[in-house]
């Protein structure tokens, strides 16, 4: 007999935050009972070009990132446009008339049209696409923009079959109200018409809104945006910087996938890129930590980036060498300033 959602929630709520909850969610039956999904999209623009330096090769590539606040009004990190899926209770849906069901189109991600008839779908491809479009519409409206959208058919799914986003349930949830373990769906979208520029120029923070601003930043900078130590004023719950870091590690991994795509997954270029990113960063960067944060293995991360595990290990090792060299120079008083 499978476990019910209410029973699973009760077990998780009663467990101490952290390791105890994480252990419960490793049970597939428990996680399945409290599972939902989310979806996001990283807009990018520009093309790579030939250069000896991987950094220079990516110098004309930019992405758009949104900065958000949490419900307490504190900065909550950088990220792609997106959020949790809005789903519909099947029993409640059956009680609605056609007009009421039609009103859910665009509001609930699992309500679609079959001809002219609104129906519920369990098709995750449709749900994730609707999720992206709705969240993008809502977050842009939060920034005072209501006339920009994208075509769902141009969304490129970054496959991360083992990725998990259970941090809120494990480390933050107070045990009251609704809460979900999340399987996120990350997407890339090539901006060929200047959407990132338009959004970043027009974005204005709205009183009471979640979104603070939308920024156009170099992809190379984004590859450093995970692992900064937070300040007393700007700190996420795990101690990372709420103004400089991606809120969600799977969205940060998407930036690395984009870089890998643009460098055509060439091992030598990616190892050089990893070295250059670490040399430019003032904090350690680690794919091993990224794998742990997303509930994956290094092999999973390599697959998400469409590279071999050997290449990923070489990238990891090259960054560790840069870090160790830097610390040795600090000890000798010769570190670059």
Q: What is the pLDDT of residues 220-239, one digit of tens each?
A: 999 999 999 988 889 998 89
Alpha-helical regions (H) of the chain: 5-14, 19-25, 28-33, 54-57, 90-95, 98-102, 124-142, 167, 195-202, 219-222, 249-262, 267-280, 287-293, 298-304, 309-331
Q: What is the pLDDT of residues 135-181, one digit of tens each?
A: 999 999 999 999 999 999 999 999 998 898 898 899 989 999 889 99
Tell me how many degrees the CA angle 74-234-335 measures, rounded to the nearest 5: 165
The average pLDDT across 111-121 equals 96
**CATH for the stretch 34-331:** 3.90.79.10
pTM of the model: 0.91
Examine the pLDDT at 117 and tell me if it is beyond 60: yes
| pLDDT confidence bin for 328, thresholds 50/70/90 | low
> Where along the chain do its domains lie?
1-33, 34-331
Neighbouring C-alpha atoms within 13 Å toward the C-beta of 158: 30
């Amino acid at each position: 007999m499978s476990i019910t959602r209410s029973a699973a929630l009760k077990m998780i709520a009663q467990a101490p935050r952290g390791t105890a909850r994480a252990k419960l969610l490793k049970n597939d039956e428990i996680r399945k009972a409290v599972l939902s999904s989310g979806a996001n999209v990283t807009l990018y623009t520009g093309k790579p070009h030939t250069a000896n330096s991987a950094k220079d090769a990516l110098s004309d590539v930019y992405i758009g990132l949104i900065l958000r606040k949490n419900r307490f009004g504190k900065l909550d990190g950088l990220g792609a446009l997106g959020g949790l899926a809005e789903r519909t209770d099947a029993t409640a849906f059956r009680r609605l008339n056609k007009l009421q069901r039609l009103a859910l189109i665009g509001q609930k991600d699992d309500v679609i049209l079959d001809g002219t008839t609104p129906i519920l779908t369990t098709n995750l491809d449709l749900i994730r696409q609707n999720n992206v479009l709705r969240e993008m519409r809502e977050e842009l409206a939060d920034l005072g923009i209501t006339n920009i959208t994208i075509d769902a058919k141009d969304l490129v799914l970054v496959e991360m079959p083992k990725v998990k986003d259970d941090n809120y349930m494990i480390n933050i949830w107070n045990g009251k109200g609704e809460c979900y373990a999340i399987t996120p769906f990350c997407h890339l979208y090539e901006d060929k018409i200047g959407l990132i520029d338009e959004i970043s120029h027009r974005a204005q923070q709205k009183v009471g809104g979640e979104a603070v601003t939308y920024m156009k930043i170099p992809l190379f900078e984004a590859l450093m945006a995970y692992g900064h130590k937070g300040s007393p004023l700007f700190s996420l719950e795990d101690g990372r910087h709420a103004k400089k870091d991606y809120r969600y590690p799977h969205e940060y991994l998407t930036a690395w996938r984009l870089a890998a795509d643009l460098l055509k997954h060439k091992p030598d270029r990616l190892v050089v890129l990893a070295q250059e990113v670490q040399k430019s960063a003032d904090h350690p960067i680690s794919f091993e930590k990224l794998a742990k944060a997303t509930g994956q293995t290094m092999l999973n991360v390599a697959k998400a980036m469409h590279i071999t595990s050997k290449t990923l290990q070489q990238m990891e090792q090259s960054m560790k060498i840069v870090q160790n060299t830097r610390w040795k120079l600090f000890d000798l008083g010769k570190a670059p300033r």
